[in-house]
Each structure stands twice: as structure tokens, then as C-alpha cells.
Amino acid sequence: MTVLMHVTRCVPCAPHPVVYNRRMDHVGRLLLRLLLVPLGGMVAVAVAIAVVVAAHWGAIQALATADPERQGDYMMALVAAGPELFVALSTTMLYTLAAAAIGVLIAEVFAIRSWIFHAANGGLSAWIGWSLSASGDGGLRAFSEPKTLIAAGLAAGLAYWLIAGSTSGFFKPLRTPRIPEPASR
């Protein structure tokens, strides 16, 4: 069994070598990725929800300021259509997260750290989720306009990049140790 170790010196004039264990670096990096990727995903989902709520803020304010009789009508409509709305939104989110997970896996395997890639992954995933959530007869969609969802996907992709995407790559270390060159005399 070969142990991947590299001997280097901390300072060019240091008398003792420092042993750098690459295997432990890979294990530590894998554990870090196992923490950062889900955290980045959760933050991305929260940012996407915030963008959708901000885009529909006018409708939320109109509901809040409606007269009390109409608010009761809205509440009954929500109770009646709530389960169908929940299923439609869950389906859209499932398709979107599945497409985003494929993009994140590609970014992790190939160590793609570009913010453009992660933003495009979010936008494309949102569009894929929106387009796949159509019912079989071509009727009801989760939302009528995909622009809001694509904007939410772009913002979610940027949020993911800030948390986990800028350091993506399971086995690509952030910094490789530099081996000092011997001084030429």
C-alpha cells in the first residue's frame, strides 16, 4: 500500500522537513464538501423563495389590504385549492432540484468554480423545473410566467456559488503546497 506523502520545507532555510499527507487533505476536503454543498443548497432555496416572494409582493399586499369579506373568500379558496397548489409547487421544486443537483455534481467532479456556470445552472434548472411541471393534458402549470422562476434560479445559483461553488471540486485542493527550489549558487 502506497502512502501519498510529500516532503517539503516550510521555509527555504528551515533545517527540518515537514511531511505533508495528501490523503488526509483529500479526506478533509471531502468532509468540507459534504458540509458546504448541502448548506449552499439550503441557502440557494431560501434565496429563490425570497426572490419569488419579492416578485409577487404586490399581490401579497393586495391580499393583506383587501376588505375583510374578501379575505375570507381568499382563505376559503386557499383551503380548497391548497392541496393541489402544494402538489404543483412540490413537483416543480422536485424537478428543479434534480436538474440543479446534476449541475452541482458536474461542478464538483470537474472543479468548475465559475460564478457564470453556477448562475446558469440555477436559471436553467428553474426553467427545466417549470417546463416539466406541466400537467399531462397541457393545462395547469405551477406558474404562468417562467421569468420570475428563472430570475429566482439565477439568484439561487449565485447564492450557491458564494457558499459552496467558489471552492467546488472534491479532490482539487484550494492551495497546493509550494516546493521551494534549491538556491542556485
- Place 117 in a pLDDT band, splitting at 50, 70 and 90: very high
Query: Which range is least confidently modeled, 84-98, 114-128, 153-167?
Result: 84-98
Q: What is the pLDDT of residue 174?
A: 55
**Alpha-helix runs per DSSP H in the chain:** 22-55, 57-64, 68-110, 115-132, 146-163
Q: What is the pLDDT of residue 94?
A: 93
Q: What is the pLDDT of residue 143?
A: 64
Q: What is the pLDDT of residue 100?
A: 96
Residue bearing the bigger pLDDT, 151 or 5:
151
Grid cell in block for residue 137: 393534458
CB 48 within 8 A of CB 155: yes
Name every residue whose Cβ is closer than 8 Å to that of residue 17 and which is 6 or more positions away in sequence: 7, 8, 9
Name every residue whose Cβ is closer than 8 Å to that of residue 150 and which is 6 or more positions away in sequence: 123, 126, 127, 130
The mean predicted confidence, pLDDT, of the chain is: 80
Dihedral-angle region of residue 86 (phi above 0 means left; psi in -120 to 50 means alpha; beta otherwise):
alpha
Q: How many residues does the chain have?
A: 185
Q: Which pTM value belongs to this model?
A: 0.74
CA distance 21 to 177: 11
Grid cell in block for residue 168: 467546488
Name every residue whose Cβ is closer than 8 Å to that of residue 29 and which is 6 or more positions away in sequence: 170, 171, 173
Q: What is the pLDDT of residue 156?
A: 97
Q: What is the pLDDT of residue 172?
A: 62
Residue bearing the bigger pLDDT, 56 or 144:
56
CA distance 83 to 76: 12
CA distance 118 to 101: 11
Number of alpha carbons in the 13 Å side-chain half-sphere of residue 71:
9
DSSP 13: T
Of residues 128, 119, 181, 178, the one with CA closest to residue 151: 119
- Predicted confidence (pLDDT) at residue 84 exceeds the cutoff of 60: yes
Q: Please compute the mean of the pLDDT values over residues 127-144 and round it to a whole number.
A: 67
Q: Please compute the mean of the pLDDT values over residues 90-114 and round it to a whole number.
A: 93
- Predicted confidence (pLDDT) at residue 7 exceeds the cutoff of 70: no
pLDDT tens column, 9-64: 455 555 555 555 667 677 888 888 899 999 999 999 999 999 988 988 887 787 77
